[in-house]
Structure 1
Amino acid sequence: AGWLDSRHSFSFGGFHDPRFMGFRSLRVINDDRVEGGAGFGMHPHRDMEILSYVVSGGLTHRDSLGHEKTVRAGGVQYMSAGRGIAHSEFNASKSEPVHFCEHRQRTQ
């Protein structure tokens, strides 16, 4: 997508390589840049621990439990998906890009 510049360490989304499926319980290490005003709509996760580190800009997180928070550069967002949760992540700025790294680890 034109609004997203993403680098993947392991198979993820449209990038699939059976040689790179993760490392032990670690499944995702993504380096993402999202254009101003853009982001990921509400989507589900389960059996995952998700850690997002904001390198620059701000990232707004909303989830199905009613939590909402904007994490700024140098900050961390941690989410335990447990048996299931839905969330969205959007660039907090309408004009400036946000750069963040996301790590996902399976809990089972």
Structure 2
Amino acid sequence: MQKHYRKIDSKELHYLPASDRHPADTYFHFSFANYYNPDNMQFGVLRVLNDDDVKPHEGFGKHSHEEMEIVSYVVKGKLTHWDSATNVHDTLERGHVQTVTAGTGVWHSELNEHDG
């Protein structure tokens, strides 16, 4: 039987501060945006793993993706999620996970509409 997973060796993942983007302080685990390292492009099929500390009353407005799975996990505070697949605004709280299958295309937003 073929395995569809791989054991993570902690030496393979790095926590790299890379950007103070306007809506969030962001840490990129792989090459992304202004952080580029040709030896650190992805982990298996995982291409993007960003840690975004979204500032109060800021966030990532409506934007599109295609052919990917999008996972949001809230570590602290609250995050308001909207996507065009459901057209529902959900408030995610600490410990909540939101998944979106982009398929041929989906629009979504992730906003911190709160004071913290």
On whether the aligned pair clears a TM of 0.5, the verdict is yes
Which residue of 65, 70, 75 maps to 1:55?
A: 75
The Cα shift of 1:90 comes to 0.3
The Cα shift of 1:32 comes to 1.1
Can you give the 5+ residue segments of structure 2 that lack an aligned partner in the other structure? 1-20
1:33-72 to 2 correspondences below 5 Å: 33-65=53-85, 66-72=87-93
Give distance in 2, aligned partners of 1:41 and 1:18. Answer: 29
Write out the 4+ residue segments of structure 1 that deviate beyond 4 Å after TM superposition: none
Shift in alpha-carbon separation, 1:21–1:56, aligned structure 2, 3 A: same
Can you give the 5+ residue segments of structure 1 that lack an aligned partner in the other structure? 97-108
2:108 alignment counterpart: 87
Which residue of 26, 34, 40 maps to 1:20?
A: 40
Give distance in 2, aligned partners of 1:64 and 1:75. Answer: 20
2:26 alignment counterpart: 6
The letter for the 1-side match of 2:107 is: A
Larger-Rg structure: 2
RMSD over aligned CA atoms reads: 1.2
Give distance in 2, aligned partners of 1:44 and 1:3. Answer: 17
The Cα shift of 1:67 comes to 2.4
Q: Which structure is higher in strand share?
A: 1
TM-score, normalised to structure 2's length?
Answer: 0.76
TM-score, normalised to structure 1's length?
Answer: 0.81
| Larger RCO, structure (CA 8 Å, separation 6 or more) | 1
Q: Secondary structure at the match of 2:35?
A: coil
The Cα shift of 1:2 comes to 4.2
Which residue of 20, 24, 30 maps to 2:50?
A: 30
* 2:23/2:60 contact within 8 Å kept: no
